[in-house]
Amino acid sequence: MNLRLDTPVQYVKGVGPRMGALLERKGVYRVGDLIEYYPRAYEDRRAARNIASLLPGEIVSLKAQIVSIYSIPMGNSYRKIYDVAVKDATGQIHCKYFRIPYKGYFDNFRPGQEVRVVGKVTLYRGQREFHHPDIFDAAKDEAGQEGLLPIYEETEGLSSRKIMKFVEKALADSGDTIPELLPSWVLEKYKLPLRKESLHKIHKPPQLADHSFSQLKSPYHRRIIFEEFFWLELFLALKKAGLQREEAPPMKRELALAEKLIKSLPFQLTGAQKRAFEEILTDLCAAHPMHRLIQGDVGSGKTIVAMLAATVAVANGYQAAVMAPTEILAEQHFQNATRLLEPLGLRVALLTGSTGAKDRAAIQNALKAGQLDVIFGTHALIQSDVEYQNLGLAIIDEQHRFGVHQRNELKRKGVFPHFLVMTATPIPRTLAMTVYGDLDISLINEMPAGRTPIVTRVVYENKRVQVLSFMRQQIEQGRQAYVVYPLVEESEKVDLKDAVSEYEHLKEMFPKIKFDLLHGRMKAEEKDQIMKRFREGATQVLVSTTVIEVGVDVPNANMMIVEHSERFGLSQLHQLRGRVGRGTQKSYCVFIMGRALSEESKARMEIMAETTDGFRIAEADLEMRGPGEFLGARQSGLPGFKMAHLVRDAEILQEARTAAFELLRRDPKLVHEDHTQLRAELTRSQGAVSLAGVG
């Protein structure tokens, strides 16, 4: 039976509707998805191993007998660590699971059972262990299954062995329909094997396959990784080519307002701020719209640079719009602008969902009549009834919170608006150049002079009383504090402190301190009122969830306490810590950990204790968790990765980027015969990949 790549997966021999439904849970809907459901590791059966010979760091396969299966409660938590002890003639080793692979997984095993264990040997507290290995019933091993066997991510009712059979059948029945997508000159230049051959070898390695397979570094893995990166880079190259073809009347270097603003500041601009502003000026004076990203750590002074850009637009007769993801952040920008821009004669206003009908009508009329120079707001700025007289500059803060649709709506509000986007999510520069490859990047990597370093401490929960006592001392000295929790309300499933109940508890402990509670389930108006009270000093301690993660600026708040900090990612922890240290007084951040800690959680907390450098933290975050969040932070439509890894495969990424941009230089409209298949694939997937740059 010949299968097409778009044939529903249930029609692969042996799959059927029931197994097809299980595969769909893993994102496998069509034959093409099944062929691209790559092994996550390989089991090497060519060299028998025993427990005594195991070395830390090795990925091994061995036969053993189950000694015991038991679970260990994690403190007062509902979570458990599962331990499967196995032995052979040479010794015993523990297989530990900090999460269940799927419900009922451990019901498959019993003491005395012969199993095959496949996984990476880990050294933990001086003992060799497996963490989350694959365990298979040895009795179900089939004769002839030797050599290097692929291991696939399982789900309940769908074992790795079954998936291997389904993939083999799909490849056998659809081999003739697998197209070669990369041009011949790319294959030749980068010494890449054919796609069809690579898919077959990845799913069924040759008998003489070396260790490069286990490390996902064989020529065949490299080919698929290159292709995944190539699609991403071609997407970005096409987008950039389209942006560069747009035309805009160049602005003039009108710097009188900018110079007045700089002179009014109580501090000197850093070299990085001056450099970023000069790069923006160059863009504004070019013949096509600016599409620039300002990337800077928390507190590095991105907003001042954006305000300087706004003064240049206004001096050239244009309006500027500053769009933020939350009302709290939009109001904060507006308040800063009132202080900085109004004394220069600029007319500013704030427009959000909470703006009253009467004020909204007045602001919209003034905006349309050109009686406002800079407008601040949220998504309200792109509503259909909002019109601008002459929008020339759109500034977007925390741009990963906005999608393509919102940016396009803002674009339609102006004839040719320049775009300046900002992010406080640090990304290593080489990665940023790739993930944000359609944007030019200005990096603000210096902190303003006079910023007081934040004292960071990581403690266990038995030190909580001392931490809260120190917080009380800071409050008594006239300071303010944040206390952040991972949950809004108590959960039966997880034993973690929650914001609502702890807010009540803290009020009882410290009756003289004024507390307030903030979380994401509150209405926008209520949140704004709470933040206003805190900014004005009416509230001394703000008990919150991560809703205060981005953008909140209260200089008098000098203490941040994060409960159950092991439950947060590195990026979140860094953003939370960045809420303090914004004034002149010494600031403190205390991360309180629960007792049930994984090795990864401990490593995260060690990094936070060691450094406040957002770029160093971002690199560690990428190494530990992978790059999913940073890709997820980009606009919808980016091709995803099934095998490629932005950190591990950085060299291949650079090659793919070079190839994609060279392709468009050689053949901007993709009309060459060698690019026919590639163009057809772009056309087929144009819902995901913009063809605007092809023309």
Between 220 and 614, the higher pLDDT residue = 220
| Residue 394 CB-half CA count within 13 A | 27
Whether the predicted pLDDT of 424 surpasses 80: no
Note the pLDDT tens digit of each residue in 587-598: 999 999 887 666
Residue 163 pLDDT exceeds 70: yes
Please report the pLDDT score of residue 435 as a whole number: 66
The residue ranges of DSSP E strands in 107-160, in sequence order, are 114-124, 127-131, 134-137, 148-151
Give the residue-averaged pLDDT of 149-172: 87
Which stretches of 264-367 are assigned E, i.e. beta strand? 291-296, 319-323, 348-351
| The predicted structure's pLDDT at residue 602 | 81
- Highest mean pLDDT: which range of 78-92, 164-178, 218-232, 400-414: 218-232
pLDDT of residue 225: 95
pLDDT, residue 585, reads: 85
**Residue 146's pLDDT band (boundaries 50, 70, 90)?**
low
| pLDDT value, residue 401 | 47
* pLDDT > 70 in the chain, percent: 85
Task: Supply the pLDDT for residue 227.
Answer: 93
Q: Which of these, 384, 386, 411, 385, lies nearest to 396 by C-alpha position?
A: 411
Q: Are 86 and 95 in contact (CB under 8 A)?
A: yes
User: Is the pLDDT score of 637 beyond 50?
Assistant: no
pLDDT at 686: 52
Partnered with residue 562 across adjacent β-strands are 484, 591
Q: Is the pLDDT at 143 greater than 50, yes or no?
A: no
CB 590 within 8 A of CB 550: no
Residue 689 confidence class, pLDDT cut points 50, 70, 90: very low
Band (pLDDT 50/70/90 cuts) for residue 77 is low
pTM listed for this prediction: 0.65
Whether 607 contacts 570, CB under 8 Å: yes
Task: Name which residue leads in pLDDT, 435 or 306.
Answer: 306
pLDDT at 443: 83
Mean pLDDT of 85-109: 88
Please say if the pLDDT value at position 389 is more than 80.
yes
**pLDDT given for residue 358 in this prediction:** 92
Task: Report d(CA 14, CA 582) in Å as an integer.
Answer: 62
Residue 82 has pLDDT above 50, yes or no: yes
Give yes or no for residue 3 having a pLDDT over 60: yes
| Torsion angle (degrees, nearest 10) of CA 147, 153, 158, 164 | -30
When the pLDDT of each residue in the chain is averaged and rounded to a whole number, the result is: 84
pLDDT-based confidence at 636, cuts 50/70/90? very low
Tokens for 189, please give them. 């230049």
Instruction: State the residue for tokens 């406040």.
Output: 612
Mean of pLDDT values over 354-364: 91
pLDDT score, position 512: 93
